[in-house]
């Protein structure tokens, strides 16, 4: 799908005599080149990587330059025209908090709709949306208690429209209130999206933080994959 993750968490049930370190090395020896196990922890049987999460953080990267970068193409969305960073940040502030985000959601699986309480299937709480720029690289980090299909890409799609002057900030609020995805712009490409961390109660890990839940950085202080 083109989406990346450097803070993905999964849980499995295993019966093995290997230590966690040896098990991690064994797994990495057979996994494909684009997947690596960074950390292993023993957790209670009731732990569920998805349902036990308190919050998740996604990062979306935009290469904002007239000329595309072949080296950045795999992990960014290329936007050649000028962007108003401040306008983009201000436009998304109304999304922070608990809202019905149906207008920013892709299709939801029927089984999830059936399992959700009436009227709450598309309600989420966004904790923060932060934009930063380093030269041509424009980055948005968004943290929420849970996400909807295509939510981040749809949010970025709206921000890019605002930043390029093709959409007014007031229209973002109108879109939010409408709950109608058909009124929104196209989602941003999948290539720029990356899951960078999942937050859990430290009690699941014996009271200590899990190092796999924060993004690693390379020697330049930039997030690697």
- What are 20-64's pLDDT values in tens digits? 999 999 999 999 999 999 999 999 999 999 999 999 999 999 999
Q: In this predicted structure, what is the pLDDT of residue 130?
A: 97
Mean pLDDT of the chain: 89
Q: Which residues of 71-93 are buried (b: 16+ CB within 10 A; e: fewer)?
A: ebeebbbbbeeebeeebbbebbe
In this predicted structure, the answer to whether residue 221 has a pLDDT above a threshold of 50 is: no
Which helix or strand (DSSP H or E) is residue 28 part of? helix 20-30
CA distance 163 to 159: 6
Q: In this predicted structure, what is the pLDDT of residue 209?
A: 62
φ and ψ at 182, to 5 degrees?
-65, -20
Structure tokens at 158: 């709206």
What pLDDT digit, counting tens, does each position of 87-111 carry? 999 999 999 999 999 999 988 777 6
In this predicted structure, the answer to whether residue 86 has a pLDDT above a threshold of 70 is: yes
- The correct CATH number of 58-127+134-140+148-192 out of 3.30.70.660, 3.90.980.10, 1.20.140.160, 3.40.50.960 is 3.30.70.660
Q: In this predicted structure, what is the pLDDT of residue 163?
A: 98
Burial class (CB in 10 A: 0-12, 13-18, 19+), 129: buried
In this predicted structure, the answer to whether residue 217 has a pLDDT above a threshold of 50 is: no
Q: Where are the beta strands (DSSP E) in the chain?
A: 4-5, 55-64, 77-79, 97-100, 123-134, 137-144, 193-199
**52 SS3 class:** coil
Name which residue leads in pLDDT, 225 or 192: 192
In this predicted structure, the answer to whether residue 166 has a pLDDT above a threshold of 50 is: yes
Lowest average pLDDT, out of 73-87, 112-126, 132-146, goes to 112-126
Band the pLDDT of 18: cuts 50, 70, 90.
very high
CA dihedral 178, 181, 186, 189 (to 10 degrees): 120
In this predicted structure, the answer to whether residue 142 has a pLDDT above a threshold of 60 is: yes
* pTM summary value: 0.87
CA distance 209 to 159: 33
CA distance 31 to 24: 10
Q: In this predicted structure, what is the pLDDT of residue 223?
A: 38
Q: In this predicted structure, what is the pLDDT of residue 160?
A: 98
Structure tokens at 153: 């890409």
Neighbours of 220 (CB within 10 A): 7
| Cβ neighbours of residue 121 closer than 8 Å, sequence gap 6 or more | 108, 112, 113
Band the pLDDT of 177: cuts 50, 70, 90.
very high
Band the pLDDT of 115: cuts 50, 70, 90.
low
In this predicted structure, the answer to whether residue 206 has a pLDDT above a threshold of 90 is: no
**Mean pLDDT score, 201-219:** 63
């Amino acid at each position: 799908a083109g989406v990346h993750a450097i803070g993905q968490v999964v849980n499995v049930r295993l019966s093995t005599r290997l230590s966690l370190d040896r098990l991690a090395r064994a797994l990495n020896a057979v996994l494909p080149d684009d997947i690596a196990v960074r950390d292993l922890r023993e957790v209670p049987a009731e732990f569920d990587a998805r349902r036990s999460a308190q919050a998740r953080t996604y990062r979306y990267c935009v290469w904002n330059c007239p000329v595309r970068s072949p080296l950045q193409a795999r992990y960014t969305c290329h936007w050649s025209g000028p962007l108003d960073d401040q306008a983009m940040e201000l436009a998304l502030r109304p999304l922070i908090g608990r809202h019905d985000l149906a207008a920013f959601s892709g299709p939801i699986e029927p089984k999830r709709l059936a399992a959700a309480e009436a009227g709450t299937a598309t309600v989420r709480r966004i904790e923060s949306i932060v934009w930063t720029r380093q030269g041509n690289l424009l980055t948005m980090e968004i943290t929420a208690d849970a996400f909807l299909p295509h939510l981040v890409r749809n949010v970025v799609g709206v921000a890019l429209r605002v930043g390029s002057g093709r959409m007014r900030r007031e229209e973002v609020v109108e879109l939010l209130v409408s709950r109608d995805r058909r009124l929104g712009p196209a989602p941003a490409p999948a290539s720029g999206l990356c899951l960078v961390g999942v937050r859990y109660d430290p009690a699941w890990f014996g009271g200590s933080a899990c190092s796999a839940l924060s993004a690693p950085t390379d020697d330049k202080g930039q997030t690697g994959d």
